[in-house]
Structures are given as structure tokens and as C-alpha cells.
Structure 1
Amino acid sequence: MTSQTTEATPDGGQLRVSTLELFFDLVFVFTITQLTHVFVHHPGWDAVAQIALMFGVIWWMYSGYAWLTNEVAPTSSGRRGLLTLGMFGFFVLALAIPDAFHGSGVAFGLGFVLVTCVHTALFASSGGSSAITAIKHIAPFNVLSAGLVLVGGFLHGWPQYLCWALALACQIGSPYLIDTSGFEVRPRHFAERHGLVIIVAIGESIVSIGVGLTGRDLTVGLVANVAVGLALAYVLWWAYFGIDDERGEHALSAVPPRERSRPALFAYGYSLYPMLIGVTLAAAGIQMSIAHGNERASLAAATALSAGVALYFVGQWAFRLTLRLPRPWTRLVAAAVVCLTIPIGVAWVAWAQLALLVAIAYAAVIIDDVITLRTGHHSSYV
């Protein structure tokens, strides 16, 4: 899926994901792990709100680095050095996540300021003329957002929530207030880069299985639970990479270059946000219940598990809708149906909820694939 060297275009952009970007993603693995722990250790709506806000501002800038390397290939020592500095900023953010609302908010804010400064500096110094113009327009919004995150880090309670919510609103709303056509999107690298992020997030659900079983004796029932948990990770992978990953790249390639930034932002920025939040919550649900498969799941664990998968499907619905891919509504139906499995874990046993969740989600994906095949469309996997 990736090349071992950086493939740069004549104008300085990238054709394939570089190994440095894969190295960069190691921090994202840790970020997802930390966010999962926030819910596992303090399950409830407060944790969901905290995850949504922290991941929201992090994802905006992390996705921003995908735009950056799409435009600025890390082909020089200076660029690689700055990217490594940005990686350090993201690592500080990840370290501060567990207590960001209870003491480490300042560290979170300082890490975010560093990430923002590196991103702006690299774009302004190494991007093409159109990209430099575009980043000059969006940089004030990013700086304002970073300032709000930093100020929020000094606060506690609802003022902190408010500051970080305003920062996220500033990020989400900024593309509507400026012209983003100056950013050139190279579909092959762009789709591959974001696809790797999804793989990283799904990998956290596998890690959560192992974490949830730490110190447990391996019985037949426990191994069966592990098999079903891995099956869920496979279903999430297949739901996106079976067809949508490839179709998304082709759909983005079909858009005229000067018009790509908007659909790219909506499909790979806004739409991936609920998908990644969903994987994080599902991973938390697995970690909380995998070792207690023969017992009733707590309401928090059962809800996180099924609602997380539902959010993943909602994100896919938005992804398909944005790129005008076939049958986005099937993912909304799947999201609604998987939520019906929540009472099974609460009223019966956790393994039954997980097994039925996998069966329903997989059936929804397979039915959609069969319809795709009958219409004559194929992908590398189907």
C-alpha cells in the first residue's frame, strides 16, 4: 500500500505515502489508545464529550498534516526535521489526553500550539504559490483555534469545555469563510494517507482485546470471544477498504483539480471524524467487556460498543454522500440496526451482543457488496 521512498511530483507534491509519514502515524496509534482509556477509566457522557472535543481539535491538525505532505514532500533534511518536531507536538498532546480536563490542559494547549506553528511554517516556506496563498488565509483561523485551546488549558469546568468547543467550531467553520481552492489535492496520496489513519484506528480495537485480557487465563470461551472481537475489527476494515477506499480515490480523481479541495475536506476530513470516534468508542467497549463475556455488560460498555460501530457507519454514509458514491443510505440503515444490539449485552451477556453485532454489521456490508457486483462494479478486493 505504500512505497519505501518518497515519490515526489515535479511541483513538489507527493504521489505515494512516504515511510516518514508511516513513522509519523505511530503517534496517532498512541493518541487513539489514550482516548480509549479516557472512556474506559471514566465511562459516561462526560468522557464522550471530552473525547469528541480533544479528538476534534487533534484530528483537524492531524488531517492538516496529510494536506501538508500532499503538497510538500519530505525530501529535504529541513522538512523532515520540522515534521519530526510536529510529531513531537502530537506526542505531547497524546501524553496530556488522560488528564487534559483535570490538570494537564496547559501541556495539551502548548502541544497544540507547537503543532499549529510547525504546520503553518512548513506550508508557508515550502508550498507552491497557490498553497502559500491558501495557508495565509486559513492560518489566522488555525492560530485563533490554537489560542483558544491554550487558554482553555488554564481553565477548569465548563469554561474549558466552552473554549475547546469554540476552537473546534472555528476549525470546522473556517473553510466556509475562505477560498480553499489554492490547496492542490493529489488523490492517490490523499486517499492512501487517510486510509492508513483508518487502519491505525482499527488496530486500536485489536490492541484493546489484548489489554482487556491482561492477566486472564485463556479458556475456550475466552478464545472464542477473542475470535469474535477480531471478526469485528475485520468487518470495520472490510466496510471501508472492500470497495469505498478505491471508489473514493477514483471519485476524487474525477473532480477537476481546482474543485477538489472542498469534496476532499468533506469526505476525508469531516466524514472521517465520526468514523474514527466510532472506532475509539467501540475499542473502549471491547476492552471493558471482552474479559467478562459470560456476564452482563454495563450500560456504558454495551452502548460504547454498538454505538461506536453505528458512528463508523454514519461516517461512511457521509463519505459516500460527499463523493456521490452509490447507496449511502445502506450505511444509515446499518447504523440504526446495530444500535438495537445494546439491550442484548445489558440484559443478557456481553458475548451475545458482540456476536450479534458482528453478524448484523457483516451482513449489511456483504449485502451492499453483492449489489455492487451485480451492477458491474469491482475493486481490488471484490
Structure 2
Amino acid sequence: MEERKSHQLLRKRGDHNASVSYSELLFDLIYVFAVTQLSHYLLYHLNFLGVIQTTILWFGVWLVWQHTTWVTNWFNPDTRPIRLILFGVMLVSLLMAASLPKAFEDRGLIFAICYIAIQVGRTLVILFLLGNNHHLTPNFKRILGWSCISAFLWILGAFNDGYIRVLLWAMAVLLDYVSPMFGFYLPFLGRSDSGKEWTIDGHHLVERCQLFVIIAFGETILMTGLSLSEVEVWTAERIIAALVSFVGSLSMWWIYFDVSSEAAIHKIRHSVNPGLLGLKYHAVHVILVGAIIVCAVGDELVGSEPSSTVTYTSLYVLIFGPVIYLLTNMVFKWITSHTISVSHSIAILVLLLFIPVCFFISILIINSIVVTVFVCIAIFEILTPHMKKEELLEKL
């Protein structure tokens, strides 16, 4: 117990919330680039295979960011060793993000090596800094073990192509995504105890996820602005498309940040097992942020050709992206406040029933109706009495 308190690299746990450091904000800039790369990849590969490939790459990008976030939650990023780790991960992440557009072509090995170098290398350095007798050492040994298992699949996939690479990388992502849910269990090394070993700071974890959500919303606004700037003639239809997309981004932001983020901070801070709750929180956010990226691609489609008709693949980004976003928001609210959002449920039902009509109208009208649904949810949140929010936090 004494070593827990005395290790010089660990964050000091106390009454004050751990704040996000400037080095972490700088680190996130790499992932702004990665999100842009992924949204463009999906835009130019808008078919079933492209959706699967983008999903695999997105989970890989998120898992690198997530594991690094947990490291900077445990360890103080203002100390020189941890800051150097962060900058090293940044450099390799930049190469990984640059390889994304051709990760399923001739740069697959580069992507895989970068991913493995980050996941395995970061853990090895942490183990070296901790030594053998620290209470977190067994946890990081298990993480290293699972990172090595998934590394085999990443490398094997890189030396194959086509559907074989997709299958192997999907298995690797699934291993990295699911293994924390079982405490990184390994024979002879046992299982990590989330209540004792994952002693995270709830405020820091929530704030890091919120910052990534803002990155994703920034991409939706960026895509809207780019599609408008690249058009030679600004017709009324294209300007309306840009305005609709902008309003949609604002309403989606409101739905996420109005109450749920406050409840999440309160819930993790007062949880008897913040590590387990933080794990669930991250597991939801990878899907939630992915849905925002999908919606950004939908905005780009509408901005470039607002009068075009819908296809089955464009229907995915225009309708199912928003549906996934609302579903994950519902799960998020259930995890943080044990409430089921009636407005979200009704909105999902409306969007699903609206699908047959989509094939007879333009994508601008489709997007306008989807955004109207989001605005209605946001208005409902605004009209919710303020006391209800306070009572919700008190209930937690």
C-alpha cells in the first residue's frame, strides 16, 4: 500500500480532480488527423466492404487512444518519462494515421507495425518504469500478454490481403476490445481486479472522452465547410444543405452534453468500482464517436450532391448513422443514470419507419428530416425542468 502512494510517476489522488494536461491536448491533435482520414476513407469506399474496413480501422485507432488515455489517467503526464512516452506514441500514431487510406492495400504492414509498436512498446516502457514490485505491474503484464496475442493477428493479416486481412484484423480488434472486459485474464497471470487495480480518476476519464467527442463533431463541421467551399456556384440548395448539416451537428452536440456528461462525471467519481464503470464508458464511446464520423460522411454527401437520390450505402450514413448515435446515447444514459430516454426511443422508431420513404425523395430532404428529429430531441432536453437534472445527480 505504501508503494501506491510513493511512486513518483503516479498521479496524486485527492480532493482535486485530475486535469487534462497540455501534452494530452497536443496528443489529441494526431487523432484529429486520424478521424479526418477515416471519414474520407469511408466517403470514398461507401460500400459494404468499405464500411467493415472503416469500422476495423476506427476501432484500432480508438484502442490506441483509449489505452494511452488510461496510462495518462494512472500516471502524471507532466512528469518527464510519461511525457516522453506520450510524444513517442504521437510520432508513431502520426505514421499510423498517414497509412490509413491504404491500410487495406500496400501499407497494411506499416499500419500493423505502428499499431503493435504503440500497444506493446508503451506497455513495455511502463513495466520498466514500474519495476517488479509495484501493485500495477501484474495488470500491465496481462495487458502486454494480450497485446502480443493480438499483434500476431495484426502481422498475419498484414501479410495477407482481401477478405483474409479483413477477417484477421477484425479478430485482432475484437480481442483488444473484449479482453479488458475479462480483466485481461491469462493463465498463470490471473485476472486484473477492476476495483483494486483500475483506480482511475473519473473526472479525467470523462473529460478525455468529451474532448474526443468534440474532435468528432469538429469533423462534421469541417466536412460541411469543405463541401461548401469546393463548390464553384453557391446555389440556394447547397447553402441550405450546409445550414441543415450545421444545425444537425449542434443538436447532436446538445443531446450528448446537456445532462449525460455531468451524470457520467458524478457517477464514476462516486462509484465503488470506477475502473469497471470507466471500461463500460469507453466501450460505449468507441461506437458513439464512430456514429458521429458516419454522420459526418452523410453531411459530405448531402453537401456535394443535395438533389441526388438515396442508395443502400448512402442510406447507411444518412439514417443508420443517426440511429446508432441515438442508441449508444441511450446506453450511455443507462450506464450513467439508469434512465431510459423516451425521446431517443421515439426518434429511433420514427427514423426506422421513415426508411421506405427515403427512396422517393432527395438526400437533402432526408437529411433535413433527420436533423428535425435531432432538433426535437434537443428541444425536449431544453424544456426538461432544471430541477430534474439536479434530482438526477442527487439520485446517483
Q: State the TM-score, normalizing by the size of structure 2.
A: 0.86
Please name the residue that 1:4 is paired with: none
SS of residue in 2 equivalent to 1:271: helix
Once residues 218 and 351 of structure 1 are traced to their aligned partners in structure 2, the CA distance between those partners, rounded to angstroms, is 15
User: Which region of structure 1 is more displaced relative to structure 2, 43-52 or 139-148?
Assistant: 139-148
Superposed CA offset, 1:231-281 (max 9, x none): 11111111111111111110111202xx111111012x2101211121111
Deviation at 1:170, TM superposition (A): 1.2
Contact 1:184 1:260 in 2 (8 A): yes
Once residues 271 and 329 of structure 1 are traced to their aligned partners in structure 2, the CA distance between those partners, rounded to angstroms, is 19
1:223 aligns with 2:239: yes
Deviation at 1:172, TM superposition (A): 2.5
Once residues 149 and 372 of structure 1 are traced to their aligned partners in structure 2, the CA distance between those partners, rounded to angstroms, is 50
Deviation at 1:62, TM superposition (A): 1.1
CA-atom RMSD, angstroms? 2.5
Deviation at 1:67, TM superposition (A): 0.6
Q: Which one of 355, 368, 377 corresponds to residue 368 of structure 2? A: 355
1:115 aligns with 2:130: no
Q: Which one of 73, 76, 79 corresponds to residue 76 of structure 1? A: 79
Q: Say which one has the larger Rg.
A: 2
Once residues 170 and 64 of structure 2 are traced to their aligned partners in structure 1, the CA distance between those partners, rounded to angstroms, is 15
Q: Which amino acid aligns with 1:317?
A: M
Deviation at 1:167, TM superposition (A): 0.8
Please name the residue that 1:208 is paired with: 223
Superposed CA offset, 1:347-376 (max 9, x none): 211221111111112212432554464635
Please name the residue that 1:103 is paired with: 106
Question: Mind listing any 5+ residue stretches in structure 1 that lack a counterpart?
Answer: 1-7
Once residues 152 and 39 of structure 2 are traced to their aligned partners in structure 1, the CA distance between those partners, rounded to angstroms, is 26
Please name the residue that 2:157 is paired with: 152
Q: State the TM-score, normalizing by the size of structure 1.
A: 0.89
Superposed CA offset, 1:327-347 (max 9, x none): 246434433433444455532
1:196 aligns with 2:215: no
Please name the residue that 1:247 is paired with: 263
Deviation at 1:190, TM superposition (A): 0.8
Equivalences for residues 225-304 of structure 1 within 5 A: 225-256=241-272, 259-267=273-281, 269-304=282-317
Deviation at 1:218, TM superposition (A): 2.1
Deviation at 1:126, TM superposition (A): 4.6
Once residues 38 and 60 of structure 2 are traced to their aligned partners in structure 1, the CA distance between those partners, rounded to angstroms, is 13
1:90 aligns with 2:106: no
Question: Mind listing any 5+ residue stretches in structure 2 that lack a counterpart?
Answer: 1-9, 186-190
1:316 aligns with 2:329: yes
Q: Which one of 169, 174, 177 corresponds to residue 174 of structure 2? A: 169
Deviation at 1:77, TM superposition (A): 3.0
User: Which region of structure 1 is more displaced relative to structure 2, 326-335 or 89-98?
Assistant: 326-335
Please name the residue that 1:3 is paired with: none
Please name the residue that 2:6 is paired with: none
Aligned length in residues: 370
Please name the residue that 1:22 is paired with: 25
- Structure 1 pair 57/180, CA: closer, same or farther in 2 (3 Å)? farther
Once residues 115 and 329 of structure 1 are traced to their aligned partners in structure 2, the CA distance between those partners, rounded to angstroms, is 42
